[in-house]
Structure 1
Amino acid sequence: MRDHLFHIDEPTGAELEAVENEWPLIIAELDLMEAELDVLDAAEIGGPFDLDWQRLRRAEARVLREAAALADRVAGPYRAA
């Protein structure tokens, strides 16, 4: 293979830290997507059922919590009141 044709820069420490900070939100969004897909899939078997909707609401709430937590972490002590 011609390695000289591809120059890929490694992520910086700051970029890796940013991903690490966002990771809880990324996981929450993936869980939300899975819950949404389960609601859609449940329609094929006579649902969605109460537990499907409950799981969806919990996943939505978790995304909101994680987004707020990320905003707090990023803003730090300089956040407006």
Structure 2
Amino acid sequence: MDQITVADALTAFEPWMEPTAAELDAIDAEMPLIGAEVELLDAQLITLDRTPTELDARRIRRARRRVLAARRDLTNRTAAAMPPGGAA
């Protein structure tokens, strides 16, 4: 079993280990997709312990459409930000 030293515990929260501005920007750009996926998961979790009603089925379908739309939008934004030219 690996041992964790006091030095390891203290350096685990050093400022240089914080996310960079670019990483935070990437997370921020993905937040609509993350939110849509959480909404879908919530809709699916509701139906785990009971028989899904028509309202539950509609909620899941809407959540799936939102996830797909958020993925499409994120992909389009990412593709638009890429420089033209293709692979090197």
Q: Secondary structure at the match of 2:58?
A: helix
Counterpart-to-counterpart distance in 2, 1:70 and 1:53 = 26
2:44 is the counterpart of 1:33: no
2:65 equivalent in structure 1: 61
Matched letter for residue 44 of structure 2: E
Higher gyration radius (CA): 2
Structure 1 vs Structure 2 CA RMSD: 2.0
Q: Secondary structure at the match of 2:48?
A: helix
Counterpart-to-counterpart distance in 2, 1:27 and 1:61 = 13
- Name the stretch that deviates more: 17-26 or 69-78: 69-78
Work out the percentage of aligned pairs sharing the same amino acid. 43
- Aligned 1:62-81 pairs, distance under 5 A: 62-76=66-80
2:56 is the counterpart of 1:49: no
2:20 is the counterpart of 1:12: yes
TM-score, structure 2 normalization: 0.74
| Aligned residue pairs, count | 74
Matched letter for residue 30 of structure 2: E
TM-score, structure 1 normalization: 0.79
Q: Give structure 1 regions of 4+ aligned residues with deviation exceeding 4 angstroms.
A: none
* Structure 2 alignment gaps of length 5 or more: 1-5
Q: Secondary structure at the match of 1:40?
A: coil
* Structure 1 alignment gaps of length 5 or more: none
Q: Secondary structure at the match of 1:55?
A: helix
